[in-house]
Amino acid sequence: METHKENCIFCKIIENKAPSEKIYEDDYVTCIKDIKPASTHHYLILPNKHIRNAKELRVEDSELYAKMISTMDLILEKQGLDPEATRTGFHWPPFNTVDHLHLHVISPIENMSFINKLLFTHSSYWFVSVRIYNI
């Protein structure tokens, strides 16, 4: 299975071939600041392996997925974010913005604009909350 893809902006960021503000990285995942923050805090947790979207997660990716979730908890703790006031989730195809799986961490919800609240609606057709999402 391919682990990276040419012309994928997130793969380039992970490989340090494109600029970004990384706040965390290890062998499995990378966490960057969103370039267009929807609230005071807006981070993206990316698997280092190129997975197109949440729909393409496979059973063999379950460890990687668990790693993304534990990183999310770590970021919440590191940034001092209240989980109750934080929106987290994935885009659901075909509503992807970038063709590389990324978990949004946005906080606090009350600072989000109306349009951003709509874009990142809790468990809608296009945005799936991680708390209810299992593979």
97 counts as binding Zn ion under rule CB under 5 A: yes
8 binds Zn ion (CB under 5 A): yes
Among 13, 20, 32, 50, binds Zn ion (CB under 5 A): 50
Q: Select from 100, 105, 119, 120 the one that contacts Zn ion (CB under 5 A).
A: 100
H helices within 35-108, ranges in order? 62-78
Q: Phi and psi at residue 36, in whole multiples of 5°?
A: -120, 75
Count of residues of this chain found to bind Zn ion when the rule CB under 5 A is applied: 7
Catalytic entry in 41, 50, 102, 104? 102
Pick from 119, 135, 25: nearest CA to 127: 119
Q: Is 4 a catalytic residue?
A: no
CB-closest chain residue to Zn ion: 8
Helical residues (DSSP H) of 1-135, grouped into ranges: 9-14, 62-78, 114-119
Is residue 87 at the binding interface for Zn ion, with CB under 5 A as the rule?
Answer: no
Q: Are 45 and 106 in contact (CB under 8 A)?
A: no
Contact assessment for residue 121 and residue 32, using Cβ atoms and an 8 Å cutoff = no
Interacting span for Zn ion (CB under 5 A) from 5-13, 63-71, 82-90, 106-114: 5-13
Binding site for Zn ion (CB under 5 A): 5, 8, 10-11, 50, 97, 100
Active-site residue set:
102
